[in-house]
Amino acid sequence: MKKAFLVIGMVTLITVLSCTKDTTSNCGTTTYKYTTDISVVLNNKCNTSGCHNSSAAGGLNLTNYNTVKDKSSNIRTKVNNNSMPPAGSPALTTDERNKLFSWIDACSPNN
């Protein structure tokens, strides 16, 4: 009986230790880059005075990659449901929305 428990324990341990989490499996690919595409969209439409610039008057500073990546899911939701940019602010073009969504769907690479 002890041998059976030992064998089961060893098999379980080996199984658990051999599993790894693939963090990129749900990521798509994108040709858009944070430095040349995404930050430009954000700077032109979001990081304006009184909104998501360094003063963070809008409650969220979107001027640096780490914050944008951390909040990318929330950004996608707000842009997708048209609550951002807010009414009265310049809207994102279809091309800008597509760039942003493609980059977020690719797991927001720092490129």
pLDDT in tens, 26-49: 788 889 999 999 999 999 999 887
Question: Virtual CA dihedral for 55, 65, 41, 33, nearest 10 degrees?
Answer: 170
User: Does residue 49 lie in a domain region?
Assistant: yes
User: Does residue 13 lie in a domain region?
Assistant: no
User: Does residue 4 lie in a domain region?
Assistant: no
pLDDT band at 25 (very low <50, low <70, confident <90, very high): low
CA distance 12 to 35: 45
> Domain residues for 90?
28-105
Greatest distance between any 2 Cα atoms in the chain: 74
User: Does residue 17 lie in a domain region?
Assistant: no
Q: Are 34 and 27 in contact (CB under 8 A)?
A: no
Q: How many CB atoms within 10 Å of residue 76?
A: 17
Q: Are 100 and 41 in contact (CB under 8 A)?
A: yes
Q: How many domains does the chain fold into?
A: 1
Q: What is the pLDDT of residues 62-108, one digit of tens each?
A: 999 999 999 999 999 999 999 999 988 899 999 999 999 999 999 99
Q: Are 16 and 95 in contact (CB under 8 A)?
A: no
